[in-house]
Amino acid sequence: NAGVTQTPKFQVLKTGQSMTLQCAQDMNHNSMYWYRQDPGMGLRLIYYSASEGTTDKGEVPNGYNVSRLNKREFSLRLESAAPSQTSVYFCASSEASAGQDYEQYFGPGTRLTVT
Amino acid sequence: GENVEQHPSTLSVQEGDSAVIKCTYSDSASNYFPWYKQELGKRPQLIIDIRSNVGEKKDQRIAVTLNKTAKHFSLHITETQPEDSAVYFCAASEDKFYFGSGTKLNVKP
């Protein structure tokens, strides 16, 4: 099992450009998450999807959109990148339903720089 | 929403000593409290977790305690080793996960 995979690993964008970060998991998990991690800070939730077909905003959703394409894939889109979106982006998945194992499994991260 | 505070932000100990990291949370609905270890340039890895119906959990040199009344939980690492050096994050969750700001642990040989 590959676990959680993310593409790309690194990306440099100019201000105003758009891009989509891809995430896929092969653990048959219901829930998937997108976080950003800035230096000296913890992970902040951007969006999450409790199950296929549903998405919900997290702490810092402004400037981002998501798509839960199917149970395996959850993508994050930056429509018009800004320097404030320079960060490391982590995707994660978990079972996360009542009474079940909540453990989150993280992808390797995407390091995004916006100039 | 939930607010998770973590202290200290940095912690330096001598090899063999114990290390304690503390977190508080605000939402009494949170019922799952994981701790993650993150090495430089790597993804966070779960090291131990605890549910709200348990007060303490131990796994070899690592233990976590939870006080639901006071809304705080702590990570205890005993007999620290240089390879324990990393950033540690606490989190609280009911469905979404809210993370603390991290503790950089340095274990000096």
pLDDT, tens digit, 9 for 90 and up, residues A27-75: 999 999 999 999 878 899 999 998 888 999 999 999 999 999 899 999 9
Name which of B1, B4, B97 is nearest A104 (Cβ-Cβ). Answer: B97
Beta carbons of B43 and A108 less than 8 Å apart: yes
Contacts B40 to A, Cβ<8 Å: none
Q: How many angstroms separate the Cα of A36 from the Cα of each of A26, A44, A91?
A: 22, 5, 9
Residues B96 and A58: beta-carbon distance below 8 Å = yes
CA distance B93 to chain A (A): 9
Question: For residue range B79-109, what is the model confidence (pLDDT) as tens digits?
Answer: 999 999 999 999 998 878 899 999 999 999 9
Question: A4's torsion region: left (phi>0), alpha (psi -120 to 50) or beta?
Answer: beta
**pLDDT on residue A96:** 61
Amino acid letter for position A32: M
Question: For residue range A73-107, what is the model confidence (pLDDT) as tens digits?
Answer: 999 999 999 999 999 999 999 886 544 557 889 99
Q: How many angstroms separate the Cα of A113 from the Cα of each of A10, A78, A86, B72?
A: 8, 12, 5, 36
Beta carbons of B98 and A59 less than 8 Å apart: yes
Contacts B44 to A, Cβ<8 Å: 43, 90, 106
Tokens 């149970």 map to which residue?
A71
Nearest 5°: phi and psi at B41?
Answer: 80, 5
Report the candidate in B17, B61, B16 with the shortest Cα–Cα distance to residue B37. Answer: B61
